[in-house]
Structure 1
Amino acid sequence: MDAPALDLPFDAEAMLPGLRRWVECESPTFDAVAVGRMMEVAARDLALMGARIETVPGRMGYGPCVRASFPHPRAGAEPGVLVMGHLDTVHPTGTLPALPWRREGDRLYGPGVYDMKGGNWIAVEAIRQLQRAGVATKRPVTVLLTSDEEVGSPSTRDLIEAEAARHAVVLVPEPARPDGGVVTGRYAIARFNLRATGRPSHAGARLADGRSAIREMCRQVVAIEAMTTDAATYSVGVIRGGQWVNCVATHCDAESLSMAKRQADLDEAVERMLALRSATDGVSLEVQRGVTRPVWEPDGKVMALYETARGIARSIGFDITSQSSGGGSDGNFTGAMGIPTLDGLGVQGAGGHTLEEHLLVSSLVPRAKLMAGLLQVA
């Protein structure tokens, strides 16, 4: 590749103030207003860089999205590069006191700093540095920032697929793999909503008359997670039930997730989940299929894109592996469409979705240079 992208004057310390504004603008998926505030912050930063900003209204109760298109001599005349990331996080509003922006050595903490505001920020910084240096990108560049990835992208999948179809390459700055590698495929994922409905009674005076929905759901949770094999995993991450401690619970709801490396194995997992039945007389069980992410298996075009990225990384001074990964992303959709997609281009760190979430400051510059190099030649 040409040298200019590798010589750009990236500075980790200079990146931090802007990233801090993003991280301290809390944006949990289920708070559409908070996500909207975050989108406004990002849209302004991108507009100041000369992008044409379009805000796509949210739906299904989720927040809006932002599309930022950068000027290019061939914009609209040929497919471009889509940089795609989400700005929603799993951390509820009010997490900052427990997970404040702070730096401890090479670790930088904050809600969403690793998954995936840090990755989005280095992508923006890569575009900024290319602009400042007058380095042209091979293709027009568009940034799409979405609002509901953490719950499977139920309201944005159509937007993602429509936008990706207009592009030749998709780059996803989700967190890097633990060894710094990138993602060239992702497992298939299906979500399920379960509801047990029992028979209420007074828990003190008439306990035996009731049929507890909570008890039945507890049985189901154990049975569901026991179905996990090497081919497919089954887990229950949410459970809600009951209203009064002195009443036998009428309803209990749960949310379950299954993941598989192969689509056929996920299809079998879906059948097994939909076939679940109540084990308790007087209690019914309903299972509904929720959001599904298709399996993304790498093809020759994806691996060629990876080899390009690997060459860039080696020029910078490090190497990157490639792997298929669990933990879905919006790259599942674009990869499954057959559009060359490279995922896991974001920051290194650990603790995603926990109060130990952090990125490694030392990863900011090399990962930003990698993104800049890809934008230059992809």
Structure 2
Amino acid sequence: MNPADLPFDTEAMLQGLRGWVECESPTWDAAAVARMLDLAARDMAVMGATIERISGRQGFAGCVRARFPHPRQGEPGILIAGHMDTVHPVGTLAKLPWRRDGNKCFGPGICDMKGGNYLTLEAIRQLMKAAVTTPLPLTVLFTPDEEVGTPSTRDIIEAEAQRNTYVLVPEPGRADNGVVTGRYAIARFNLEATGRPSHAGARLGAGRSAIREMARQILAIDAMTTEDCTFSVGIVHGGQWVNCVATTATGEALSMAKRQADLDRGVERMLALSGTTDDVTFKVTRGVTRPVWEPDARTMALYDKARGIAEQLGLSLPHGSAGGGSDGNFTGALGIPTLDGLGVRGADMHTLNEYIEVDSLAERGRLMAGLLASLA
């Protein structure tokens, strides 16, 4: 089977994807994510998949696991792992509506990663229409919490991956049409400053500001960044009344490194910031972590298979390790052959200018179909 012969219809794919993109699904809104998972589950059920719903926990929505009909159903096969949560709050469509401009199509979560998830289902649909039976059974797992580090579903992803031979992750492709064969390690941290309250007008000097200490520590954390390990604070909350010296301030920080040893040293440096200065206590606790994923020979063999299919389609397919974690960190770190970045090309993820390159829907759809039809 030559994937170039599959009749992918870009306009039809855009029409289907629009419904997904316009179903806003920010991570922390479990009901909104569940509505998106319902859409995907229905689409896969129409395709003939057996749908299982896995209950959520920790305040997150659940998961959808779909197994497509196959004569070897139940044997190790291919796991396609994608997330349906986005960083965009409900209401973002008013600022970032679905819009096409030439080869660009805009919308919240369209690139990260609803576009990649959708083209994966279209690839399966095209193979089924062509009566192509994949050598291995296919399982799709859609999850609700990747954008916050996958705290509630890591165990499900890892368990499902270990029941399969390969893992394909349709996260956004690289700008050079590349795929991802490794991911940097990532750690998250919770920050808390506790001061002493006073009336900011009448007795300012009697208080000890938690906001002031948080600001001081943010500068210190940013200054810790090196080429080997980066640090940034992305969330800050503090105070309740402007006429009160703030008693508490909280925040969240992120650290990323190409090597696990560098991240481990970074974690030690962050935790060492805990202490008390001028009657203000600063506390750092470790949050969720993504392990470094370094490609092994089996992942590179999987990449070589994908590169051969791309060449058959007349496309180059470079590869490399990437920052910005994904659930591929977990499966790759387990030693399961994993290929990431198989989704759409696009740019400006997590912003109000997020878009995809329209022509990548069919291109990457054919690449995915070729992989599914040839992996054995």
Query: TM-score normalised by the shorter chain: which range applies?
Result: over 0.9
SS at match of 1:118: helix
Cα deviation code 1:11-31 (max 9, x no counterpart): 111101110010000000000
Distance 1:367 1:169 in 2: 18
Distance 1:314 1:226 in 2: 44
Q: Name the counterpart of 2:257.
A: 260
Q: Would you say 1:336 and 2:333 are equivalent positions?
A: yes
User: How far off its partner does 1:278 sit?
Assistant: 4.5
Q: Name the counterpart of 1:234.
A: 231
SS at match of 1:100: coil
Distance 1:310 1:362 in 2: 19
Structure 1 segments of 4+ aligned residues over 6 angstroms from their partners: none
Distance 2:354 2:190 in 1: 28
Distance 1:314 1:102 in 2: 32
Cα deviation code 1:323-378 (max 9, x no counterpart): 00000000000000000000000000101000000000011111000000000112
Distance 1:333 1:138 in 2: 25
Q: Name the counterpart of 1:122.
A: 119
**Which residue of the other structure, out of 325, 348, 361, is the alignment partner of 2:358?**
361
Distance 1:307 1:247 in 2: 62
Cα deviation code 1:64-97 (max 9, x no counterpart): 1100000111111x21100110000000001000
Q: Would you say 1:111 and 2:108 are equivalent positions?
A: yes
Give the structure-1-normalised TM-score: 0.98
Q: Would you say 1:87 and 2:84 are equivalent positions?
A: yes
Distance 1:179 1:201 in 2: 56
Distance 2:298 2:180 in 1: 14
SS at match of 1:96: helix
Distance 1:188 1:333 in 2: 10
Q: Is the 8 A contact 1:345 1:371 kept in 2?
A: yes
User: How far off its partner does 1:277 sit?
Assistant: 3.4
Q: Name the counterpart of 1:352.
A: 349
Q: Name the counterpart of 1:308.
A: 305
SS at match of 1:167: coil
Q: Name the counterpart of 1:51.
A: 49
Q: Name the counterpart of 1:21.
A: 19
Q: Name the counterpart of 2:29.
A: 31
Cα deviation code 1:206-234 (max 9, x no counterpart): 00000000000000000001000011000
User: How far off its partner does 1:272 sit?
Assistant: 0.5
**Which residue of the other structure, out of 240, 244, 267, is the alignment partner of 1:270?**
267
Distance 2:85 2:55 in 1: 15
- Residue identity matched to 1:52: T
Cα deviation code 1:42-65 (max 9, x no counterpart): 100000000000011110000111
- Residue identity matched to 1:42: A
User: How far off its partner does 1:279 sit?
Assistant: 6.5
Q: Name the counterpart of 1:132.
A: 129
Q: Name the counterpart of 1:64.
A: 62
Q: Which runs of 5+ in 2 are unaligned?
A: none
**Which residue of the other structure, out of 186, 195, 199, is the alignment partner of 1:198?**
195
Distance 2:153 2:339 in 1: 20
- Residue identity matched to 2:94: P
Q: Name the counterpart of 1:295.
A: 292
Q: Which runs of 5+ in 1 are unaligned?
A: none
**Which residue of the other structure, out of 209, 222, 225, is the alignment partner of 1:225?**
222
Distance 1:202 1:32 in 2: 39
Distance 1:368 1:187 in 2: 26
**Which residue of the other structure, out of 176, 181, 186, is the alignment partner of 2:178?**
181
Distance 2:126 2:280 in 1: 61
User: How far off its partner does 1:178 sit?
Assistant: 1.4
Cα RMSD between the aligned structures?
0.7
Give the structure-2-normalised TM-score: 0.99
Cα deviation code 1:141-172 (max 9, x no counterpart): 00000000000000000000011010000000
SS at match of 1:53: strand
Q: Name the counterpart of 2:10.
A: 12
- Residue identity matched to 1:215: R
- Residue identity matched to 1:41: L
Cα deviation code 1:252-287 (max 9, x no counterpart): 001000000000000001100011035631100111
Q: Is the 8 A contact 1:123 1:368 kept in 2?
A: yes
Distance 2:191 2:20 in 1: 35
Distance 1:204 1:239 in 2: 24
